[in-house]
Structure 1
């Protein structure tokens, strides 16, 4: 799966399932502040990633995830 497809799928479920505005989905956006995800949303995000990409995420995976780009990179590494 290409990086572009990964980004497209992530953006799609953030818009559809988390009601994030498309214009907020820029690589440097903070997942907590700009995108507006709280701790409960992160649980739902893990479920969405597992169903969309078939990879498991654990709490430690999010230790260094600050921006949307960090999240894209995490999923790319998990799929890699």
Structure 2
């Protein structure tokens, strides 16, 4: 799965589940400041994304994400690491 496809899935989840304005959903958008997600929203987002993830996400990985691009990169790395095993 390519990064653009991951970004599109995250974007769709944010629009459908959190009723976010599509114009705000850029790779540089900060999760907490720009998108006003709180920690519970972040967990809900992860649950929504689990359907296309190869395995569970290590919560430690997501403690460092700040932008949508960070989320894309973390998921991409998770998928790549799972495929190489």
Structure 1 length normalisation: TM-score? 0.88
Unaligned runs of 5+ in 1: none
Residue matched to 1:72 = 72
> Equivalents in 2 of 1:50, 1:75: separation in Å?
10
1:6, 1:76 within 8 Å by CA — same for their partners in 2?
yes
> Equivalents in 2 of 1:58, 1:19: separation in Å?
26
Number of residues of Structure 1 aligned to a counterpart in Structure 2: 80
Q: Pairwise CA RMSD of aligned residues?
A: 1.3
Name the SS of the counterpart of 1:16 in structure 2: helix
Look at both structures and tell me which one has the larger radius of gyration over its CA atoms: 2
Structure 2 length normalisation: TM-score? 0.84
Residue matched to 1:34 = 34
